Structure 1
Amino acid sequence: MRLPFPSPARDAATDSGGAPLEGLPEWNLDDLYEGQDAAALKRDLDWLEEACRTFAADYEGKLAELDAAGLLECTLRYEKIDMIAGRIMSFAGLRYYQKTTDGERAKFMSDMQDKITTYTTPLVFFSLEFNRIEDAHYEAMMAENDELARYKPVFDRMRAMKPYQLSDELEKFLHDTSVVGASAWNKLFDEQIAGLTFEVDGEHLGIEATLNLLTDSDRARREAGARALAEKFEETAPLFARIHNTLAKEKEIGDRWRGLPSPQASRHLANHVEPEVVEALRNAVVAAYPRLSHRYYNLKAKWLGLDTLEVWDRNAPLPMEENRIVGWEEARRTVSEAYAAFDPRMEELARPFFTDGWIDAGVKEGKAPGAFAHPTVTDVHPYVMLNYLGKPRDVMTLAHELGHGVHQRLAAGQGEMLSSTPLTLAETASVFGEMLTFRKMLAEAKDDATRKVMLAGKVEDMINTVVRQIAFYDFECKLHEARRGGELTVDDINALWMSVQGESLGPVFNFMEGYETFWAYIPHFVHSPFYVYAYAFGDGLVNALYAVYAEGSEGFEEKYFDMLRAGGSKHHKELLAPFGLDASDPAFWDKGLSMIESFIDELEAMEK
């Protein structure tokens, strides 16, 4: 079953927090359930319990005997169970993310998770037995029934895990204990992060508001924010180190029992991407550090009149940047017009997010940090979460998450089991939506100074998306490898974090005492190990894709919509082939990185 929870938020370092704006939209979750006591929710829970029981009774020990028609009926029943379970957990998860400090919401989500885990335990046999079907019989059934063959991409991904699956009894045990394993530690992390308060100049702020200070135009305020973060992270690092140690060890045990060749292997299998493709991406980005981040931050130091940048200068606004608030209606209009200019269908797909309660935009006490778009289930619609405070980057985040939402709506036509896009391609529409919005805003820049600020902002976002995320990926690789050798102290983890910071950001940076603990708040490391390379993958892919679009490729829009509609039904090679692109070609990644370089070239030219 696919995971029915909100997807991880974007790097919170690039998101904003601070003084809330008024009148921002909130979610209306009634399309899922009208409340935790809704009759429809009780009905679905009762149905799910019985559906799982009868499914197991009808099929356990019998999958190998089914013909193509029988396997199709079995698959459709499984898909319906997946949808109902996903609807319940989407509702519980979204309510919880609105206010993670609310004990009643946290209890409700835990109770739902416990019930879903208990009800679905009898289904664990399905993938295990399915993978024991003889290859010849499997291929014959796929050839015999076109409707069944539609699910072949899901089945093939499932069968890719065949060499790594455990006994039926062990798999059921792991399924049963999952609620007190990784998911429990994830919940602890979320609650601790949301509950942190930071004292800055006598004021007590939440994590979003404190992170927002790192983008303040006042350097003293930036420093105060950075030091407040460092002080609190140092204080809480032992707890976060315990979370990381436990999760990394749990993963190592699971990987070892399954015989997976590396800590990253399960992520690559889930993403349906070859390890060598990810390695080519990683190597291309690391090799480009001097041409990208090192070069850009040298420029930024010059603009700020500094010989050395401190960590609180990384996301500082430029001196010539206007410190204005972009109102919600302006942000909506900007993104909607950018989408419509590409294709009116994109704006139509995005419109209900604004009008029908599909966005929760405001910064609120206890609300999860960052932003995400959660697809829920294919017979409802996605929901977008933001922490919107009117920064220009917040407009980009809106464009990004709406891109996810459009993608998820289009992919819903594939049905519950085929709609979920592998993470490597899940960022395609979001980053493309950002690029459309950025190009519109750049074309409308009133003068060269405005254009310079916009270009610099885009470069910083791309560095955060590509350079920073690959540095995160390297940190995770080092962390999991080191944990295999034993328990890691806070100092051990700090050293691993710092080992990638100087390399990725460049020699112009000075790293204050305390920055070594900033690994503590990054949610991806806890929620989805090795997720982060998907951001770099998506950015590089979209840069190459946008270059094809800019060249005026005939029929690009229709090919693009076909790619989004495919959801998880095709491999990245199939999806990119109509555009003449191939992610397994190392030159592909250089093509994507060259767009960032071209923006830096333009910024350097403005200095002459």
Structure 2
Amino acid sequence: MNEVLMSYTLPRPMARPGQQRPVFDARIGSNSFGDLPDWDLSDLYPAPDAPELLRDMAWLETACADFAAKYEGKLAGLSAAEMLDCVAAYEAIDVTAGRIGSYAGLRYYQNTMDSERAKFMADVQDNITNFTTPLVFFSLEFNRLDDGVLAGLTAANADLARYTPVFERMRAMRPHQLSDEMEKYLHDASVVGASAWNKLFDETMAGLMFSVAGEEEELNLEATLNLLTDSDRAKREAASHALAAVFDKHIKLFARVHNTLAKEKEIEDRWRKMPSPQYSRHLANHVEPEVVEALRNAVVAAYPKLSHRYYKLKAKWMGLDRLQTWDRNAPLLTEAPRLVNWAEATETVLSAYAAFDPRMAEIAKPFFTDGWIDAGVKPGKAPGAFAHPTVTTVHPYVMLNYLGKPRDVMTLAHELGHGVHQVLAAGQGELLSSTPLTLAETASVFGEMLTFRKLLDGAKTPAERKTLLAGKVEDMINTVVRQIAFYDFECKLHAARAEGELTPDDINILWMSVQAQSLGEAFDFADGYETFWAYIPHFVHSPFYVYAYAFGDGLVNALYAAYADGLPDFQEKYFDMLKAGGSKHHKELLAPFGLDASDPKFWDKGLSMIAGFIDELEAMED
């Protein structure tokens, strides 16, 4: 079902998926990093068969039916106080559905190969979908209210007026909503549509094993991707070939997943009269298409002074005339391989947060002490990292696959930033707390920047400073350049699919066109790399999500520049922005900092920070 409408007609079981870390092709290694924490999900429910969960599931079924019986066909006649009661009842249902769905989803992500967990999540998803079908009328009927009637209601009741941002986002869908009967059908069918293909993709990826030359045992996806950052070039090459071989073996399945999801989206977009495949994402993000286009154009125009220039410099450092794709995330030759234990990672991030503002570290501490982080690499565990906000009456949970690399410390800083943001935004309540994806990356990328600056300030030698700068530049290129290249790939993929079925080779060609453009002339592309689109989860789970990373990075670079320049009361303004959650538009949130994302020149500020780091690295060569 369409994301914009779905978010206000009760979400699917993983109620609001956590913001995932952008895919960097690397994250893990061995397991001797101290006592890594596991999730304690009992703050949601003690067990799948707990009386509390069974009670809430029964309550949800009754509450949804009662809501429909009380309000369906009657919204136009409600007083302001009655409409507030209606919204509050809806929000209470949202909390319970989100709590149940979050528990089922997080248990599943702990071990996606466990059939009992998969069944439990699927059953929960089916139940919630069935129970909430009677609520589909709400946003549809609400959107049929006369503008003047709604204005009168909100003018008469300040508590109701607080929900105006929710109402505005709902009513943005007015031109795109279908008949009540069709919306109910799409709601019911969602469990066998994109959701089912998502699960097929996740389970397939979790089950893939890779035979890497020189490794004694087969490795899973995370461990194999990790080798792409190994200091041994032969290991990186072997890992790349192993990835390519397995992706190629399954390429027809991955092509089928993408063909089906893109066609399903095209059909629904056509019925909803969406002007482009990207438009529903822009609506969900509460961002104007022209702002995203300005971001995309600014980044593509900056490829030569960012990625192209940096990778030529990296080839020189590595003593190579040309780089291969397995050299992209290679550590510098001057960099001694180093593993960071969990205690050091914890202290590094918390002290960086505390140096900015002690309140930030205090908010972050329970993640480490109360079972809010699941850090270890385990069989069947979902790859990557994310922060999931669950519901505003509980707390967020962070998932990592921590294996001690310096980049894993930055991932911890990133996901913890999401967690802090989610804790602060929870005060807005369930319907207003969820931050648009474009702003959801703000606290995470800012947390990374704080941690990076702390490490950079503590660098003891020019070589250490160079290593830190190069690592940050690579992460920023991965966050900005790589994600915009991903966005362009998706745009091309969905446009091509609208013309007909795509073969694996068709998709491979689209992938290579954006890779060559974004990486530049320093690279050769060995056979097999053309299939590396296959493992990127964002294309499957959240079409066109990826530009949010570049948006967040550019925004944070501009924010950090204001902080570094000594903007008065920066910390208070920053906390106010995070506390706002989804209650304000990006223009309103950025105004106190003197920033405006709708100004095309805004993006050049953030890109200039990356270019400045590369300038410093080039100067070190003189």
In structure 1, C-alpha distance between the alignment counterparts of 2:63 and 2:176, rounded to whole Å: 28
Q: Is the 8 A contact 2:19 2:440 kept in 1?
A: no
5+ residue gaps, structure 2: 1-9
Letter in 2 for 1:81: I
Confirm whether residue 7 of structure 1 aligns to residue 18 of structure 2: yes
Q: Is the 8 A contact 1:9 1:372 kept in 2?
A: yes
Structure 1 counterpart of 2:4: none
Q: Is the 8 A contact 2:317 2:332 kept in 1?
A: yes
1:340-394 alpha-carbon deviations (Å, 9 max, x no partner):
0000000000000000000000011111111000000000000000000110000
In structure 2, C-alpha distance between the alignment counterparts of 1:312 and 1:203, rounded to whole Å: 21
Letter in 1 for 2:190: S
Letter in 2 for 1:482: A
Residue 17 of structure 1: how far off its partner (Å): 2.2
Residue 13 of structure 1: how far off its partner (Å): 2.8
* SS of residue paired to 1:13: coil
In structure 2, C-alpha distance between the alignment counterparts of 1:538 and 1:220, rounded to whole Å: 35
RMSD: 0.8
Confirm whether residue 285 of structure 1 aligns to residue 299 of structure 2: yes
In structure 1, C-alpha distance between the alignment counterparts of 2:155 and 2:467, rounded to whole Å: 57
Structure 1 counterpart of 2:29: 18
Structure 1 counterpart of 2:334: 320
Structure 1 counterpart of 2:198: 186
* SS of residue paired to 1:205: coil
Confirm whether residue 223 of structure 1 aligns to residue 237 of structure 2: yes
Structure 2 counterpart of 1:164: 176
Confirm whether residue 339 of structure 1 aligns to residue 353 of structure 2: yes
Residue 15 of structure 1: how far off its partner (Å): 3.8
Q: Is the 8 A contact 2:137 2:180 kept in 1?
A: yes
In structure 1, C-alpha distance between the alignment counterparts of 2:29 and 2:492, rounded to whole Å: 34
Identity percentage of aligned residues: 75
Residue 280 of structure 1: how far off its partner (Å): 0.1
* SS of residue paired to 1:578: helix
Letter in 2 for 1:243: V
Q: Is the 8 A contact 2:19 2:388 kept in 1?
A: no
Residue 10 of structure 1: how far off its partner (Å): 1.9
Structure 2 counterpart of 1:558: 572
1:256-313 alpha-carbon deviations (Å, 9 max, x no partner):
0000000000000010000000000000000000000000000100010000000000
Please show how residues 377-456 of structure 1 align to structure 2 within 5 Å. 377-456=391-470
Size of the aligned set, in residue pairs, is: 608
* SS of residue paired to 2:211: strand
1:54 to 61, 66, 69: 66
Q: Is the 8 A contact 2:281 2:544 kept in 1?
A: yes
Structure 2 counterpart of 1:349: 363
1:417-447 alpha-carbon deviations (Å, 9 max, x no partner):
0000000000000000000000000000110
In structure 2, C-alpha distance between the alignment counterparts of 1:132 and 1:454, rounded to whole Å: 55
5+ residue gaps, structure 1: none
Residue 20 of structure 1: how far off its partner (Å): 2.4
| Alignment TM-score, normalising by the size of structure 2 | 0.97
Letter in 2 for 1:50: T
Letter in 2 for 1:533: Y
Q: Is the 8 A contact 2:29 2:404 kept in 1?
A: no
Residue 14 of structure 1: how far off its partner (Å): 4.3
* SS of residue paired to 2:381: coil
Range 517-526 or range 22-31, more displaced? 22-31
Residue 324 of structure 1: how far off its partner (Å): 1.0
Q: Is the 8 A contact 1:12 1:369 kept in 2?
A: no
Q: Is the 8 A contact 2:26 2:228 kept in 1?
A: no
Structure 1 counterpart of 2:255: 241
Structure 1 counterpart of 2:56: 44
Letter in 2 for 1:459: V
Structure 2 counterpart of 1:123: 135
Q: Is the 8 A contact 2:421 2:579 kept in 1?
A: yes
In structure 1, C-alpha distance between the alignment counterparts of 2:275 and 2:23, rounded to whole Å: 31
Structure 1 counterpart of 2:619: 605
In structure 1, C-alpha distance between the alignment counterparts of 2:128 and 2:551, rounded to whole Å: 33
Structure 2 counterpart of 1:358: 372
2:501 to 487, 499, 509: 487
Structure 2 counterpart of 1:112: 124
In structure 1, C-alpha distance between the alignment counterparts of 2:324 and 2:35, rounded to whole Å: 36
Confirm whether residue 74 of structure 1 aligns to residue 86 of structure 2: yes
In structure 2, C-alpha distance between the alignment counterparts of 1:273 and 1:12, rounded to whole Å: 23
Letter in 2 for 1:494: N
In structure 1, C-alpha distance between the alignment counterparts of 2:206 and 2:19, rounded to whole Å: 15
Letter in 2 for 1:18: G
* SS of residue paired to 2:218: strand
Q: Is the 8 A contact 2:255 2:504 kept in 1?
A: yes
2:99 to 67, 87, 104: 87
1:189-239 alpha-carbon deviations (Å, 9 max, x no partner):
000001100001253000000000100000000000000000000111100
In structure 1, C-alpha distance between the alignment counterparts of 2:76 and 2:270, rounded to whole Å: 28
Structure 2 counterpart of 1:459: 473
1:533 to 547, 551, 557: 547
Residue 5 of structure 1: how far off its partner (Å): 4.6
In structure 2, C-alpha distance between the alignment counterparts of 1:171 and 1:368, rounded to whole Å: 32
Q: Is the 8 A contact 1:214 1:316 kept in 2?
A: yes
Residue 327 of structure 1: how far off its partner (Å): 0.5
Please show how residues 126-137 of structure 1 align to structure 2 within 5 Å. 126-137=138-149
Structure 1 counterpart of 2:384: 370
Residue 23 of structure 1: how far off its partner (Å): 2.1
In structure 1, C-alpha distance between the alignment counterparts of 2:494 and 2:23, rounded to whole Å: 22
In structure 1, C-alpha distance between the alignment counterparts of 2:421 and 2:621, rounded to whole Å: 39
Residue 7 of structure 1: how far off its partner (Å): 2.5
1:109-144 alpha-carbon deviations (Å, 9 max, x no partner):
000000000000000000000000001001111111
1:136-161 alpha-carbon deviations (Å, 9 max, x no partner):
00111111110000000011000000
Residue 2 of structure 1: how far off its partner (Å): 4.3
Residue 249 of structure 1: how far off its partner (Å): 0.3
In structure 1, C-alpha distance between the alignment counterparts of 2:574 and 2:482, rounded to whole Å: 28
Letter in 2 for 1:346: M
Structure 2 counterpart of 1:173: 185
Letter in 2 for 1:335: V
In structure 2, C-alpha distance between the alignment counterparts of 1:377 and 1:552, rounded to whole Å: 35
Letter in 2 for 1:579: F
* SS of residue paired to 1:225: helix
* SS of residue paired to 1:198: coil
